[in-house]
A = this chain, B = another copy of it.
């Protein structure tokens, strides 16, 4: 189904028109428009004047037809859940991506998917050669999209570590150091003297959730008196309501719990609410740590939330950079696997400086892992 024709803007001047007006050939105008190499100053000047006078703007369709480039990148957001839309995650990624693409004169084509039908639509679009590459988010373990996208033959970078096994050599991706961040969070709780530390997980079909759980287990296993107590782990789904449910269940089976590491801030907020309603004090009775540093929520909860910050906008920027420039985009950025940026900051300093990839992005294989920072507030 095609939509009815939208009234067309008045016909714009063409290369030809500019050429005539400047008294040169189309080729010369083309050269000037594309950087002006190999054109003598005075001529170039004349052409530029003609361009300005006529208000000439190149027709991108014509250009793409011959260059086979589009200077456009698709952003694919698979979003079976509303969750994506209730947290700023999405918007921040986009902002980062947009900045980077803009800096390279690329356009951002947004492809939102709601269900299976949309998947084939997206695959067709990518196969149609409208864009030079794709950035893909929010994948779940069983998602068919990666396969379809691969078949479309478009260069792709994934947001978040893909959870499926290689059909095609591991794809490029950018992710947060979920496991490391989780460790930092749990260690912080341990450092506070807590010993019955629970974890409310995210949706475990997403690698971010699985990795955070792993990080939790790492620390619990190595902790004195250690050994993993499965009764301290409650599976949830990244939502506030899920957090409430999980916290209730947790209090049911472990009334002695003295700390909770929640898979994200939204979940932590749900937990906080249940704790308050039960008359338990935070952090005195139960310390709570979240993940994301989602503002303003994390700052303004009661009490303000101690949480693991990830630099979401930077993730977006990096994904775009990787797609546009290839792995070399990371030069001067990657560091040896063990190294890391300071993991705790007490000041909620949000800026990581514009532009740069920032410190300590780790690159194991085709993936780039961004570091996290523990933000201490009142809840733990």
A-side residues, CB < 8 A to B, are 1-10, 12, 55, 57-62, 64-65, 68-72, 75, 84-88, 90-92, 94-95, 98-99, 102-112, 114, 118, 121, 124-125, 127-130, 132-133, 152-155, 240, 266, 269, 273, 295-297, 300, 302, 323-325
Contact = CB atoms under 8 A, between A and B. Distances in A.
Contact of A300 (B65, B269, B323): B269
A66 to B, nearest CB: 9
A141 to B, nearest CB: 24
Nearest to A152: B9
B240 A296 contact: yes
Contacts of A124: 57
Contact of A129 (B4, B12, B84, B153): B12
Given A3-B71, A65-B65, A105-B2, A128 B57 contact: yes
A35 to B, nearest CB: 9
Contact of A10 (B62, B106, B153, B295): B153
A323 B5 CA distance: 11
B154 A9 contact: yes
Given A2-B71, A108-B109, A155 B60 contact: no
Contact of A98 (B2, B105, B110): B110
Given A65-B65, A86-B296, A266-B296, 14 more contacts: A2-B105, A6-B324, A12-B127, A12-B129, A57-B128, A57-B129, A60-B129, A61-B62, A84-B91, A94-B112, A99-B114, A107-B111, A108-B112, A269-B296
B130 A324 contact: no
A288 to B, nearest CB: 15
A94 B110 contact: yes
**Which residue of A55, A58, A59, A99 has the most chain B CB atoms within 10 A of its CB atom?**
A59
B106 A109 contact: no
A127 B324 contact: no
B5 A69 contact: yes
Contacts of A8: 68-69
- A-B pairs with the 5 shortest C-beta distances? A61-B64, A3-B104, A9-B153, A6-B132, A98-B112
A62 to B, nearest CB: 5
Given A65-B61, A153-B9, A95 B88 contact: no
A58 B128 contact: yes
Nearest to A240: B296
B102 A91 contact: no
A9 to B, nearest CB: 4
